[in-house]
Structure 1
Amino acid sequence: MKNMLVEIDGYYSQSIVYGMDCNYVELKRMYRNALAEVTDIKELAEVFCKMHNFVIVPYSKDIQVDFVIDTDTNRIYAPSY
């Protein structure tokens, strides 16, 4: 079973979450589901993790992630390193 790292990046906070591998379409659905449940965008990483069995890992700009969720623009993309 493969796992993945996702950075949740926003103006107010940056988080890296770790969980089961999924594709872009699945991640987008998961993000929208979590976004619908939050009243404060700062809670998004915690809600996302609880809903989808991910874990928040200590943030480091040096960690290479599989996807980035930009909460300011609602854009999801795979970064190039």
Structure 2
Amino acid sequence: MIVEIDGYFTQALLTGRKCSKKELKQKYLRALSIVNDIRDLPDVFCRLFRFEQLPFNDKIEVDFVIDTDTDYIYSPNY
């Protein structure tokens, strides 16, 4: 599965094992509780949950988007 982390300071694409939206929210909140700077979120998320960071490309269709400005997670429509 591919997840986009989107925020004012950070845009990243992460790939890892498929999970539900609820599980992704729990993972996001856990990683968020550890970071001091939101820019470190993709690295911390990858280390905690064995995801890998991909080169950012806005043409890639993702399974979920995590909006770090609003803490909202959604599945985009293509």
Report the TM-score, using the length of structure 2 for normalisation.
0.99
1:75 equivalenced with 2:72 (yes/no): yes
Q: 2:58 aligns with which of 54, 57, 61?
A: 61
Deviation at 1:13, TM superposition (A): 1.4
Corresponding residue SS for 2:16: strand
Count, aligned residues: 78
1:52 equivalenced with 2:52 (yes/no): no
Unmatched segments (≥5 aa) in structure 1: none
Corresponding residue SS for 1:6: strand
Counterparts of 1:24 and 1:64, CA distance in 2? 16
- RMSD across aligned positions (CA): 0.3
Q: 1:37 aligns with which of 3, 19, 34?
A: 34
Where in structure 1 do 4 or more consecutive aligned residues deviate above 2 Å?
none
Counterparts of 2:73 and 2:31, CA distance in 1? 14
Residue 6 of structure 1 corresponds to 3
Corresponding residue SS for 1:27: helix
Counterparts of 1:27 and 1:35, CA distance in 2? 12
